[in-house]
Structure 1
Amino acid sequence: MIFFARLLLRRAALLIMLLAAVFVAVDLLPGDTARAVLGREAAPEQIAAKEHELGLDRALPMRFWRWIAGVATGDFGRTARGRPVDELLVDKFPPTLLLGGIALVLTVIVSVPLGTWWAARQGAASTRLLQPATTMAVAIPEFVLATVLILVFALGLGWLPAVTITGRAGFPTGPDMLVLPVLALAMPQIGWNTRVVRAALADAAQAPHVETAVLDGLSARVVLARHVLPFALPTIVTSFATTVGMLLGGSLVVETVFNYPGLGAVLAGSVADRDTSVVAAVVTLSGVIILGMLAVADGIRAWSLRGRR
């Protein structure tokens, strides 16, 4: 327990350092927050009043400290346009969570069987295409892949919509509008995790106890389930935990390409307004989710190591 507490504290400290870097980065962006909100025709007195209202006339460390103190009590502050950030996250995060969740499920149900099959048939002619295919999937950025999917399946074949139409609840009006964004998010992660699953299983299969189990006449299924998978599981789970962060980051780009009603548009608008509170709130939310997934991965790793003793 002490080990996990220290690990969580280190990761929480890392998240705070990341948030401090976000404040500095947004502050260094060209432009003026007050003028972006009020417009170019605003008088200097209006600009000064707005800066005082937003706290922009304070030193950057003081602004960061006040924001962190508010977050500790559950208050993410207000946007530069006066809307509570908490309300904005409640409205826009569920569609992003839906998109990322479907992409994660698709990644798991495709990459685990594919990586297992690849590990079981290493060197076979049927698996030779997986090496270049997974490499290509990992190498292509999400926005490039999203553009290609739109060109092929929306503009070329006309099978799927290129943009997202939002209903009253803030979600896409039809499931077909999720297909291309989910594929754009999941395909790179499927390529990466397929390689991780294959490598983890191949490494675990080299352990001496696996060879002993094979010589004892156990079936391949029993050897895989009882002697290979428990050793490979921590690496696989850690990879999927990292994938959560990659999906959250990638969804912000993919949402912009497909006009999807999630945090992507919010983040793009907040960067344009130099709205530090919104950018930092999105980073905090993503960071907490990633920390939670990594904590789960650490727990599984500890359980696996205890089982080996």
Structure 2
Amino acid sequence: MIAFTGLVVRRLGLLIALLAVVFVVVDLLPGNAARAVLGRDAGADRIAAKEHELGLDRPLPVRFWNWFSGATTGDFGTTARGQSVNELLAAKFPQTLLLASVAMLATVVISLLCGLWWSARPTGFTARVMQPSSAFVIAVPEFVVATLLVLVFSLWLDWLPAVTFTDRSGYPASPEMLILPVAALAIPQAGWNSRVVRGALIDAAAAPHVESAVLNGLPERTVLLRHVLPFALPTIATSFATSVGTLFGGALVVETIFNYPGMGAMVAGSVSDRDTALVAAVVAMTGTTIMCVLLLADAIRAWANRGRR
């Protein structure tokens, strides 16, 4: 319990350090929020007044502390254009979370099925196909995958929509509008995790206790579920947890391509406006989500390794 608490504290420390880095990086970008909001034609007096209003005339550590102290109470402040950051996140973050969650579910299912099949037939036709294909999809960025999917399934075949339209709730108007964005995110991660699942299962199957179970005549399914999977589970869980961060990062790009109503366009606009509060709030939300998933993976690994030395 003490070790787990220490892990939580370290992860929180890393998240706070990341937020501080966000403030520094945005501050180093050319221009500032006041100039971005008022435009190029604004006079020096108006810009100075806007900088004072936004607190840009204060030292960077003071601005970070003021924002962070409010964020710890759930108040992420306002944007440079006077909008509530909390309201923007409440409107956009659930859509991005939905997209990333469905893509994660697809990644888990595809990776487990492909990894199990691949490890069961390591030298067959499946292995000869999956070895190069998984390496290929890993190497291709999400925006390239998204572009190819639009080209094939929207323009050539006309099976699926290339853009996303929303209903009154702000979510995609039909489930089919999620297919291409989810596929663009899940395909590279499924390729990577399939290789991890395959490797973890092969390593676990080579353990002495598994060989003993096979020699004792236990059914193949029992050997897999009771002797192989528990030993492979920590590696698989860690790989899946790591993919969550990649999926969130890729979602911001994929959303722009498919006009998906998530945080992608909002983040792009906030960087353009040099809106530090909004950028930091997005990092805080996604970072907290990723941290929780990583802690869950750590708990699964600790459970799977219980009683081992």
**In which range does the TM-score fall when normalised by the shorter chain?**
over 0.9
2:137: which partner in 1?
A: 137
Q: Secondary structure, in 3 states, of the residue corresponding to 2:306?
A: helix
2:169: which partner in 1?
A: 169
**Could you list the per-position Cα deviations for residues 255-292 of structure 1 after superposition, in whole angstroms to 9, with x for gaps in the alignment?**
01111110111100000001011111111111111111
Deviation at 1:240, TM superposition (A): 1.0
Task: Give, in whole Å, the separation in 2 of the partners of 1:156 and 1:45.
Answer: 55
2:81: which partner in 1?
A: 81
Task: Give, in whole Å, the separation in 1 of the partners of 2:166 and 2:268.
Answer: 18
Q: Secondary structure, in 3 states, of the residue corresponding to 1:132?
A: helix
**Could you list the per-position Cα deviations for residues 59-93 of structure 1 after superposition, in whole angstroms to 9, with x for gaps in the alignment?**
11111111111111111111111111111100001
1:157: which partner in 2?
A: 157
Q: Secondary structure, in 3 states, of the residue corresponding to 1:306?
A: coil
Task: Give, in whole Å, the separation in 2 of the partners of 1:300 and 1:174.
Answer: 35
TM-score normalized by the length of structure 2: 0.97
Deviates more, 1:168-177 or 1:113-122: 168-177
Deviates more, 1:163-172 or 1:139-148: 163-172
TM-score normalized by the length of structure 1: 0.97
1:263: which partner in 2?
A: 263
Q: CA RMSD in A?
A: 1.1
1:33: which partner in 2?
A: 33
**Could you list the per-position Cα deviations for residues 122-177 of structure 1 after superposition, in whole angstroms to 9, with x for gaps in the alignment?**
11123211011111111100011111111111122222111111222111112221
2:48: which partner in 1?
A: 48
1:277: which partner in 2?
A: 277
Deviation at 1:40, TM superposition (A): 2.2
2:248: which partner in 1?
A: 248
Runs of 4+ residues deviating >4 angstroms: none
Task: Give, in whole Å, the separation in 1 of the partners of 2:186 and 2:22.
Answer: 27
1:290: which partner in 2?
A: 290
2:202: which partner in 1?
A: 202
Task: Give, in whole Å, the separation in 2 of the partners of 1:126 and 1:162.
Answer: 32
Q: 1:119-130 alignment to 2 at 5 Å?
A: 119-130=119-130
Q: 1:217-228 alignment to 2 at 5 Å?
A: 217-228=217-228
1:17: which partner in 2?
A: 17
1:116: which partner in 2?
A: 116
AA matched with 1:76: F
AA matched with 2:131: Q
Task: Give, in whole Å, the separation in 2 of the partners of 1:88 and 1:302.
Answer: 37
Task: Give, in whole Å, the separation in 2 of the partners of 1:279 and 1:178.
Answer: 25
Task: Give, in whole Å, the separation in 2 of the partners of 1:122 and 1:197.
Answer: 13
**Could you list the per-position Cα deviations for residues 13-37 of structure 1 after superposition, in whole angstroms to 9, with x for gaps in the alignment?**
1111111111111111122311211
In the alignment, structure 1 residue 65 sits paired with structure 2 residue 53: no
AA matched with 2:125: A
1:231: which partner in 2?
A: 231
Unaligned runs of at least 5 residues, structure 1: none
AA matched with 2:150: I
Task: Give, in whole Å, the separation in 2 of the partners of 1:297 and 1:126.
Answer: 29
Deviation at 1:207, TM superposition (A): 0.6
